[in-house]
Amino acid sequence: MAALKGISIWGSCGVPIMGRGDLGSTSCGSRRYGLGRVERDCKCGYGNGVLWGGRQEAITPVEDEKSAPPRSEEVLKDMGKLQRKFTSLPNALETQQDVAMFYERPLSLSDLSSSLSDDASVRVAYKGAPGSFSEAAALKAYPLCEAVPCDEFEAAFRAVELWLVNKAVLPIESSVGGSVHRNYDLLLRHRLHIVGEVQMAVHHCLLGLPGVQIEEIKRVVSHPQAITQCEIELNKLSVVKESAEDTAAAAQVEASLLTNFVASNDLRDTGAIASARAATLYGLNILAENIEDESDNITRFLILAREPVIPGTDRPFKTSIVFTLEEGPGVLFKALAVFALRDISLTKIESRPQRKQPLRVVGNSGNGSAKYFDYLFYIDFEASMAEQRAQNALGHLQEFAPFLRVLGKCTEKLGGMLYIEAVASAIGFRTRTVNIKDHRRDHQRLGSLRK
């Protein structure tokens, strides 16, 4: 547990105790792995449940996220491709999981337990390159882990699903730039569980080629979030801003200019915003430190895993859910009231449009039907699913939420059921966590459990 210092337990997630000492990045030392290709080569959808006998959950995706399960031959073909790629990577067959994949045998219970307890054997996917803040977040969460770079957020989700890594650490929100919407969408599309959270103070540096003075910089390359976080300083410098995949990638781009700049001195006018570690890794000089607009520039990262953590009541827990709402006046107010009525604090609310059925037709006023965007609501609340008041709140919410899923999911590991399902079935209900419209009667009964 020592390695989890400064990390919340998500209920699955403990409320972050955010003393200053908890912030700041950590040391580094990841190995290169190049998982980005995994995403392109694997189209096997819910990889873990399909091929390796991971448990299939009775979750019905919200309509617009439903995707047909892959046919097993397709999965095997894709996995074959992946295995070829995987075995060509250095140190690929290090763990039992790797060996299991190589020999195309299903994972056994001992495979699954081997790497989760020991921090040193945990592989953690992050998006970006070595030297990025995401890598630092992965290492803050699991200081001894092997941090595995991925070229896209979705590749990190897939890497966990396909048992290539144990966890993913991905940004969800910046105190300056706001929510990372892509990861909200991917949380819904994939079947991973939020099992913790890590917060990082992000201190940006302006990097340049050796010998370059800050006055020579006319163009700055970085990740869009980093550019947003340093806007004031960049405006002062009157530079052209350009986007890169991540801050370390920007530093890499900049470093690669080294080879060219002899031929073209013009390239010396480019700077990169990245971490001090990226400067060391890519042979750049730090031209300015702490160029972020706000000294308290914090990015919150989620820790994602295939299995949920067991919620408890021994310490503060935080739970994440996503839901849709029925049409009607004040329905969002009612949804929020289920928490307020039980003294449960909300720490975050986010809404995202429903992608595939974005428009909701409302009423018939004679002038034609009004059409509004339909939304998914993501809420983090401070309570554990092991607490009666949290179960009651979600039972109540289900009365007007046609779709509800616990993201920081809480199970008692009772036959792999969701905790809320376990509780409900223990008292004689047949429940499903989602598509409540189909089970209106059951859910009304479940709802009547509320205080």
- Which residues are known to be catalytic? 299, 301
Q: Using the minimum distance from each CB to ligand PRE, give the nearer residue, 279 or 309.
A: 279
Of 174, 270, 391, 392, the one binding ligand PRE by CB under 6 A? 174
36 binds ligand PRE (CB under 6 A): no
202 binds ligand PRE (CB under 6 A): yes
Binding pattern for the stretch 255-294 against ligand PRE, x by CB under 6 A and - elsewhere = ----------------------------------------
252 binds ligand PRE (CB under 6 A): no
The answer to whether the beta carbons of residues 263 and 277 sit under 8 Å apart is no
149 binds ligand PRE (CB under 6 A): no
Binding pattern for the stretch 97-126 against ligand PRE, x by CB under 6 A and - elsewhere = ------------------------------
Q: Using the minimum distance from each CB to ligand PRE, give the nearer residue, 137 or 338.
A: 137
Six-digit token pair at 363? 């009423």
Return the range that interacts with ligand PRE (CB under 6 A); candidates 128-136, 233-241, 323-331, 356-364: 128-136
Q: Using the minimum distance from each CB to ligand PRE, give the nearer residue, 233 or 387.
A: 233
The answer to whether the beta carbons of residues 368 and 154 sit under 8 Å apart is no
300 binds ligand PRE (CB under 6 A): no
> Cα–Cα distance between 392 and 437 in angstroms, integer?
19
Of 299, 384, 391, 398, the one binding ligand PRE by CB under 6 A? 299
Dihedral, CA atoms, 337, 343, 347, 350, nearest 10 degrees?
A: -10
Measured from the CB of residue 133, what is the shortest distance to ligand PRE in angstroms?
4
6 binds ligand PRE (CB under 6 A): no
Q: Using the minimum distance from each CB to ligand PRE, give the nearer residue, 130 or 395.
A: 130
134 binds ligand PRE (CB under 6 A): yes
Helix (H, G, I), strand (E, B) or coil at 321: strand
> Cα–Cα distance between 157 and 169 in angstroms, integer?
9
For 197, residues 6+ apart whose C-beta sits below 8 A from its C-beta are: 7, 8, 10, 13, 16, 300, 301, 302, 303, 318
Six-digit token pair at 317? 């827990």
Number of continuous H segments (helices) and E segments (strands) in the chain: 16, 19
Q: Which of 208, 219, 287 is nearest to 254 (CA)?
A: 208
> Cα–Cα distance between 427 and 315 in angstroms, integer?
26
Of 156, 248, 397, 434, the one binding ligand PRE by CB under 6 A? 248
Crossing angle, helix 388-397 and helix 440-447, to 10 degrees?
Answer: 140
Q: How far does CA 336 lie from the centroid of its chain?
A: 24
Q: Which of 305, 245, 226, 290 is nearest to 7 (CA)?
A: 305
Return the range that interacts with ligand PRE (CB under 6 A); candidates 66-74, 132-140, 157-165, 355-363: 132-140
Q: Using the minimum distance from each CB to ligand PRE, give the nearer residue, 124 or 335.
A: 124
171 binds ligand PRE (CB under 6 A): yes
Three-point CA angle 158, 162, 164, nearest 5° = 95
Of residues 211 through 240, those in contact with ligand PRE by CB under 6 A are: 223, 225-226
26 binds ligand PRE (CB under 6 A): no
Of 12, 95, 132, 354, the one binding ligand PRE by CB under 6 A? 132
Six-digit token pair at 129? 């390159």
Q: Using the minimum distance from each CB to ligand PRE, give the nearer residue, 133 or 323.
A: 133
157 binds ligand PRE (CB under 6 A): no
Measured from the CB of residue 353, what is the shortest distance to ligand PRE in angstroms?
21
Of residues 179 through 198, those in contact with ligand PRE by CB under 6 A are: 180
The answer to whether the beta carbons of residues 53 and 72 sit under 8 Å apart is no
User: From residue 399, how far is each of 62, 184, 382 by CA, in Å?
Assistant: 17, 24, 21
Chain positions contacting ligand PRE, by CB under 6 A: 128, 132-134, 171, 174, 180, 202, 223, 225-226, 246-248, 299
